[in-house]
Chain A
Amino acid sequence: MYDPASAIKGKQAVFEAHPENAAVKALADLATDAKFDRAELTITVARESIVSAAKAVQQAGYNFLEDVTAVDWYPSEPRFQISYSILSHKLKERLRLVVRLDGEDASLDSITSVWPSANFYEREVFDLFGVHFGGHPNLRRIMMPEDWKGHPLRKDYPVEGYR
């Protein structure tokens, strides 16, 4: 069974345990927090530095953006956790970039300039969580109708809907 004590938590500890990791090297300046848990590396960056972090890991060899999604930690703050799953075809490694956002001001920069595939993923997060991506070329709802009220995957959105 899984032992929570086996996880390495904190930026300092992770960066000491995995000094040779390409993502760790690339994000040495930008990371605010890090975690190595269940053989998965998670690095948290500040909202302002997401585009530069994406560029840095892309140059470090993580060439493929698999997914962008969000977790709503309502009612705690910071409320939203945006998770970017990034893969390296060459290194055969995966990295999870995380940005934490407050519920009051849930917005950050779009990384469509780094990976065009972020287009659909970010639209999905915008649609279902109501997180705004600045600089996105076409930030419209993708799954719900245009005139839909609310964002269904938020935790304070009832399962049965408002009406």
Chain B
Amino acid sequence: MTPPVEELTGVAAIDPGIDDLIANSARNRQNPPSKDQTMIINMGPQHPSTHGVLRLVIEVDGETIVGLAPDIGYLHTGIEKTCEAKFYQQVVPMTDRIDYLCPMTNNLAYCLAVEKLLGLEIPERAQYLRVLFNELTRIQSHLVWLGTHAMDIGALTVFLYCFREREDLLRIFEAVAGQRMMTSYVRVGGLSLEPPRDIYDKIRTFLKNFPAHVEEYEGLLQTNPIWMNRLKGVGYLSAADAIALGVTGPPLRASGVDFDVRRDMPYSGYEKFQFNVPVSDVGDVWARYIVRMQEFRESVKICLQALDGLPEGHIVADAPKIILPNREQMKTQMESLIHHFKIVTEGFGVPAGEATSSVEAPHGMMNYYVVSDGTAKPYRVHMRNPGFATLQALETMCKGRLLADVVAVIGSIDIVLGEIDR
């Protein structure tokens, strides 16, 4: 159900002569254009709207896109190869750097896979805190998406407002993990630190104010005719195409597939939380915008439940041979000192086998596939990042649209090149 294009442009109504132009334009031409009619345009590797080094080879007929091929690999970090040379616990800081907008989600996904291999039981308090900070990370990531998406289309104020709220969250992360972006907060077996006692009030204050900010963004954008016309009917993706092309997360739900890993295959205690999964069957850039705006509100709901239900207890599992002892224990107990020394110098062995963990990251489904050969270093770590697959759908979304729409579509799929060019 492609929304009608004519209704949205509004130009036909103003100038009746333009009807003929539209009818004769390449978009409506019966025969595909021959090679001598088209032109290849390279968008990127450096382009303000690609948010990283992404090159798009676009074939245009006039201004209409007839073909598009993403070219990636400019940012190769060799992270999967490097993981094979590290101890299990040393991989956690590397996962931060995969997707710098949701480091905690990456930490969690990796740790879940290793914990599955080990068969570790995680205390409930750690699970609640993991959920809490994962949802705050989702809000943070969506704020960057909304800000940069709006900026690409020309609404700079929203960008500044979003980064103002993001700053509050980064301060919370800094107080909790000691780092604003590369948090490494989630560790195998639990969390790295008990959060400071006063942080819960700060989070509550943020959550109390945040819904009003979301309304503020909506007020700025949804009363803006330029914003509406640039989004509605652009970048259509059907549910069947989305599934065939491997799209996950908000773009998949905006195409009408009601699937969310948090609800349907719960991990880290998500089954205890009540929340809705926003779904839209329109499938365009506008629908993806709406789905993510609703996710802001659902994340706030989950965070409040996590704060209210936060149980007392330990933040790490009871496994002294795997989890570093705390500083005080290490200084006073010989056993703990030995464990500390051995974990740092020799790592810990993981029973042989393979495990896949799957989490709902802000951009979509993120899987970690960890293979162990029984030693202290992972034999293979593979990351299934949502952006890599979603990028394949870009051509389907952009074909037949104008060159300027590519900018809107890239913003709507919310890619981070760090996770694509592993």
B73: chain A residues at CB < 8 Å are 141-145
In the complex where A66-B246, A67-B384, A117-B392 touch, is A38 in contact with B117 (Cβ < 8 A)? yes
Tell me whether B314 is interfacial, beta carbon within 8 Å: no
Tell me whether A162 is interfacial, beta carbon within 8 Å: no
By the criterion CB–CB under 8 Å, are A89 and B257 in contact? yes
Chain B contact residues: over half helix, strand or loop, or mixed? mixed
CB of A149, distance to nearest CB on chain B (Å): 15
Q: Within the assembled complex, what's the spacing in Å between the Cα atoms of A25 and B296?
A: 41
In the complex where A4-B351, A116-B392 touch, is A69 in contact with B118 (Cβ < 8 A)? no
Question: Which size bracket describes the interface of B in this complex?
Answer: 35 or more
A107: chain B residues at CB < 8 Å are none
Tell me whether B265 is interfacial, beta carbon within 8 Å: yes
By the criterion CB–CB under 8 Å, are A83 and B119 in contact? no
By the criterion CB–CB under 8 Å, are B365 and A1 in contact? no
Q: Within the assembled complex, what's the spacing in Å between the Cα atoms of A128 and B73?
A: 12
For residue A3, which residue of chain B has the nearest CB?
A: B119
Q: Within the assembled complex, what's the spacing in Å between the Cα atoms of A69 and B72?
A: 18
Tell me whether A32 is interfacial, beta carbon within 8 Å: no
CB of A51, distance to nearest CB on chain B (Å): 16
Of the candidates B351, B354, B356, B384, which one forms a contact with A2 in the assembled complex, judged by CB atoms under 8 Å apart? Answer: B351
Of the candidates B81, B245, B351, B371, which one forms a contact with A153 in the assembled complex, judged by CB atoms under 8 Å apart? Answer: B81
Tell me whether B76 is interfacial, beta carbon within 8 Å: yes
Q: Within the assembled complex, what's the spacing in Å between the Cα atoms of A15 and B355?
A: 20
| A72-100 interface bits toward B, Cβ cutoff 8 Å, 1 = contact, 0 = none | 10000000000101000100101010000
B354: chain A residues at CB < 8 Å are 37, 40, 42, 71, 83, 96
Best-buried of A69, A85, A115 by chain B (most CB within 10 Å): A69
Q: Within the assembled complex, what's the spacing in Å between the Cα atoms of A147 and B76?
A: 15
CB of B96, distance to nearest CB on chain A (Å): 20
CB of A87, distance to nearest CB on chain B (Å): 8
In the complex where A64-B243, A115-B244, A143-B421 touch, is A69 in contact with B382 (Cβ < 8 A)? yes
By the criterion CB–CB under 8 Å, are A65 and B246 in contact? yes
For residue B257, which residue of chain A has the nearest CB?
A: A89
By the criterion CB–CB under 8 Å, are A2 and B380 in contact? no
A159: chain B residues at CB < 8 Å are 81-82, 85
Best-buried of B118, B259, B380 by chain A (most CB within 10 Å): B380
B238: chain A residues at CB < 8 Å are none
Tell me whether B389 is interfacial, beta carbon within 8 Å: yes
By the criterion CB–CB under 8 Å, are B382 and A67 in contact? yes
Of the candidates A7, A64, A128, which one forms a contact with B353 in the assembled complex, judged by CB atoms under 8 Å apart? Answer: A7
Q: Within the assembled complex, what's the spacing in Å between the Cα atoms of A142 and B391?
A: 13
In the complex where A1-B120, A143-B76 touch, is A40 in contact with B355 (Cβ < 8 A)? yes
Tell me whether B388 is interfacial, beta carbon within 8 Å: yes
Q: Within the assembled complex, what's the spacing in Å between the Cα atoms of A89 and B256?
A: 12
Q: Within the assembled complex, what's the spacing in Å between the Cα atoms of A67 and B384?
A: 7
B81: chain A residues at CB < 8 Å are 152-153, 157, 159
By the criterion CB–CB under 8 Å, are B422 and A143 in contact? yes
Q: Within the assembled complex, what's the spacing in Å between the Cα atoms of A71 and B358?
A: 19
By the criterion CB–CB under 8 Å, are B380 and A115 in contact? no
A121: chain B residues at CB < 8 Å are 246, 389
Q: Within the assembled complex, what's the spacing in Å between the Cα atoms of A89 and B355?
A: 20
Best-buried of B118, B356, B392 by chain A (most CB within 10 Å): B356
Q: Within the assembled complex, what's the spacing in Å between the Cα atoms of A144 and B71?
A: 11
CB of A23, distance to nearest CB on chain B (Å): 15
A sample of 8 inter-chain contacts (CB < 8 A) reads A4-B352, A66-B246, A66-B384, A83-B354, A115-B244, A120-B388, A141-B73, A145-B73
Q: Which 5 A-B pairs have the closest CB atoms?
A: A2-B119, A117-B246, A143-B73, A67-B384, A69-B382
Chain B interface (Cβ < 8 Å from any Cβ of A): 72-73, 76, 78, 80-82, 85, 116-120, 243-246, 257, 259, 264-265, 319, 351-356, 358, 365, 367, 369, 371, 379-380, 382, 384, 388-389, 391-392, 421-422
